[in-house]
Chain A
Amino acid sequence: MKAWLGLSVTLIIVVAAAGAPWIAAHDPLLADFAAGLKPPGTPGHPLGTDQLGRDLLARVLYGARLALFIGACTVIVTGIVGGLLGLLAGFVERWPSAVVMRIADVQLSFPFILLALTINAIVGLGLRNIILSLSAAGWVVYARVVRGEVLSVKQRDYVHAAAALGVGRARLLFRHVLPNVAPSIVVVASLQFSQFVVAEAAISFLGFGVQPPTPAWGSMLSESRDFLYVAWWLAAFPGLALALTALGVNLLGDWLRDTFDPKLRV
């Protein structure tokens, strides 16, 4: 049941994102001052327009592309960085484990916005900032989970057997441990994906959002605050899209976890 719901919702979002240029009748970047803040149902603008007259439906659809892009990039970056560090920490243990865990602690203990601001000072606002900031905050989960998984896989019999047979450390890591840890990485990735998409909204709220006029759900939601009492649709539709995406991907991730490794605690 969960799987069907998750899969179908996610598919809808992906299709909408891919098909944006054909489904949307307008250019999401085209400003038409005279048509600002029109409500949903206006001819030609089924979801209404924003303050600069841009079609909301087009912006929501193109926003799906960006959401998926941000989610995917962040997941890949954090997966690789966190995964590698976690593998190292779990496999070698002793001081690499302590070092990685303490770095994680250091980073978790200071405010996320500091990361965003520092990155802002280096690369400026925009997409790179978002992906870097989210990655910087997100790798920790991977590292922790992967480390835990590696620690437990290491105890398994076949690993002991392989070691007894004289298999080299590197080979042990990549041929025996990694394949068994891989499913958990995938599961974490899917669960983190939706988190990152939502986190983009928080970053935009703090002022570090995507550069205009690029449509991104988070920055659209953040901008909609100013228009809450005059144009509810500016907050409603991006918010709905965000919630649905998070729901779909999350349910999918849940199903993945239930299938591969129900014991996995994320």
Chain B
Amino acid sequence: MRRYLLARLAQTVLVVFLSLTAVFGMVRLTGDPVLLFMPMDIQAKDVEEFRERLGFNDPLAVQYTRFLAAAVRGDFGDSLRYRRDAFGLVLERLPATLLLAGAALGLTLVVAVPLGVLSAVRRDTAFDHVGTVVTVLGQATPGFWLGLMLIYVFAVQLRWLPTGGMGTAAHVVMPAVVLAAFYSARVARLTRSAVLDTLGEDYVLTARAKGLAETRVIGKHTLRNSAIPIVTLAGLEAGQLLGGAVVTETIFAWPGLGRLTVQALLNRDFPVVMAAVSFTSIVYTLMNLLVDVAYGWLDPRVRKT
């Protein structure tokens, strides 16, 4: 186990390093960094002067080493657009993103897992079929479409919920629902197939033969063993939710990390892009690591390998 952990940790560091390098290169490919944050009536030579001052005229290798050396210390420079510490900007957005991600994840688990379990137990009944259709529709509906529909119905027409922004519990409801709708589909289907698998196993037959109540069979025996793939998926989703809620954050004006990253990309604000991507990359790979470790803990068979 220890050796496995150490190996994975080393790999994690490698992955993060590769991500940073990849992002550095890709972001440079996307275009001129200085042009977009200058006003349009600025002279060409002034643009050049700014570019020189900010170090963008230096050879790429120099820029890269400078970037790495600073990044290791957590210094990604100042945002070109906001003139503030780029990493500070990222950290500022974190609580909002965590809140939304947590709410969405919680909602997903609360809705999708029971749905999946019930679908498995009542396999091939009307419930199962309807459940499948609903979950597929959840995945098939583009997030922005669902979000805008919800806003129209609940905010404009019924006035029950605010159209967006952050502030009260009511503000989290619709964005969390939109995010959860998509992920619930996956989690529900996965839960269903995972439970179906374990339901066919011998130990379940034995439990039933022993006369255990059905709920106990499902709850104690089945779920525990189905937990692995569910946990895996939940862990990966959590990592994705951090940076992947862009569309939802934009529609609902939620001041999160996803939106910051996308705006920085579209504005060619390199320091912020690097800071944000580095951060999400590290978190994602750590989550991956955690999931693998949890895997080992949950399934003794894996521990041996």
Given the complex, which residues of B lie within 8 Å of A254, measured CB to CB?
Answer: 132
Once the chains are docked, how many angstroms separate the CA of A98 from the CA of B12? 11
Q: Is A102 an interface residue (CB 8 A)?
A: yes
Given the complex, which residues of B lie within 8 Å of A122, measured CB to CB?
Answer: 29
A247 with B277: CB separation less than 8 A: no
A114 with B277: CB separation less than 8 A: yes
A109 with B140: CB separation less than 8 A: no
The size of the chain B interface, using a CB distance under 8 A, is 52
Given the complex, which residues of A lie within 8 Å of B133, measured CB to CB?
Answer: 247, 251
Show 7 residue pairs from A and B whose CB-CB distance is below 8 angstroms, ordered by the A residue: A106-B18, A106-B19, A114-B277, A205-B142, A205-B247, A242-B142, A265-B190
Per-residue interface assignment for chain A, residues 101 to 142, with 1 indicating a CB less than 8 Å from any chain B CB and 0 otherwise: 011011011111111011011100000000000000000000
Task: Give the shortest distance, in Å, between A242 (CB) and chain B (any CB).
Answer: 6
Per-residue interface assignment for chain A, residues 75 to 98, with 1 indicating a CB less than 8 Å from any chain B CB and 0 otherwise: 000000000000000000000001
Once the chains are docked, how many angstroms separate the CA of A242 from the CA of B193? 25
Q: Is B47 an interface residue (CB 8 A)?
A: no
Once the chains are docked, how many angstroms separate the CA of A121 from the CA of B266? 12
A221 with B145: CB separation less than 8 A: yes
B265 with A265: CB separation less than 8 A: no
Given the complex, which residues of B lie within 8 Å of A105, measured CB to CB?
Answer: 15, 284-285, 288
Once the chains are docked, how many angstroms separate the CA of A225 from the CA of B142? 12
Please give the residue numbers on chain B whose beta carbons come within 8 Å of chain A beta carbons, in ascending order: 11, 14-16, 18-19, 22-23, 26-27, 29-31, 124, 129, 132-133, 136-137, 139-145, 148, 152, 190, 193-194, 196-197, 229, 239-240, 243-244, 246-247, 258, 261-262, 265-266, 273, 277, 280-281, 284-285, 288
Interface residues on A, range: 35 or more
B277 with A110: CB separation less than 8 A: yes
Q: Whose C-beta in chain A lies nearest to the C-beta of B190? A: A265
B141 with A243: CB separation less than 8 A: yes
Once the chains are docked, how many angstroms separate the CA of A62 from the CA of B258? 33
Task: Give the shortest distance, in Å, between A257 (CB) and chain B (any CB).
Answer: 8
A228 with B22: CB separation less than 8 A: no
Known interface pairs A102-B11, A114-B27, A118-B26. Does A109 touch B139 (Cβ–Cβ under 8 Å)?
A: no
> Which of B29, B262, B285 interacts with A113 by CB under 8 Å?
B262
A121 with B31: CB separation less than 8 A: yes
Given the complex, which residues of B lie within 8 Å of A112, measured CB to CB?
Answer: 244
> Which of B139, B145, B196 interacts with A239 by CB under 8 Å?
B145
B142 with A202: CB separation less than 8 A: yes
A106 with B22: CB separation less than 8 A: yes
Q: Is A184 an interface residue (CB 8 A)?
A: no
> Which of B11, B129, B243, B285 interacts with A111 by CB under 8 Å?
B243
A202 with B247: CB separation less than 8 A: yes
Task: Give the shortest distance, in Å, between A29 (CB) and chain B (any CB).
Answer: 24
Given the complex, which residues of A lie within 8 Å of B277, measured CB to CB?
Answer: 110-111, 114
A109 with B244: CB separation less than 8 A: no
A2 with B136: CB separation less than 8 A: no
A108 with B139: CB separation less than 8 A: no
